[in-house]
Amino acid sequence: MINALTIKKDFPIFSRKIDGRPIIYLDNAATTQKPRQVVEAIVNYYYNFNSNIHRGIYRLSEEATDLYEKSRENVEGFIGAGKDGTVVFVRNATEALNLVAAEYSRNLEPGDEVILSTMEHHSNLVPWQFLQEKGVVLKFVDLTPDWELNMDQLETLLTPRTKVVSITHVSNVLGTINPVKEIGKMAHENSAIFVLDGAQSVPHMPVDVSTIGCDFMAFSGHKMLGPSGIGGLYGRKDYLDHMHPYMGGGEMIKQVWKEHATWNDVPQKFEAGTPNIEGAIGLSAAVDYLRNLGMENVRSHERELIGYALELEEDLKIPGLRSYGPRNLDVRGGVYTFNIGDIPTFDLEMEMMSRGIRITGNGIHPHDVAQSLDRDNIAVRSGHHCAMPLMNELGVAATSRASFYIYNAREDVEKLFDGIRMTERAYAK
The residues annotated as belonging to the active site are 386
DSSP code of residue 343: -
Residue type present at position 219: F
Helices 277-293 and 295-316, packing angle to 10 deg = 70
Can the peptide bond before residue 35 be classed as cis, meaning omega within 30 degrees of 0? no
Look at the alpha carbons of 111, 117, 123, 125 in this order and tell me if their dihedral is positive or negative: positive
Long-range CB contact pairs, 106-110, < 8 A, 24+: 106/243, 106/244, 107/163, 108/134, 108/136, 108/163, 108/164, 109/135, 110/134, 110/135, 110/136
HSE of 201 in the Cβ direction (CA atoms, 13 Å)?
23
Q: What is the DSSP letter of 149?
A: B
Cβ within 8 Å of residue 417, ≥6 positions away: 309, 312, 313, 316, 318
Amino acid identity at 424: E
The full DSSP string for 265-304 is: PTTGGG--SS--HHHHHHHHHHHHHHHHH-HHHHHHHHHH
Residue 2 · residue 293 · CB < 8 Å: yes
Distance CA 162, CA 157 (A): 8
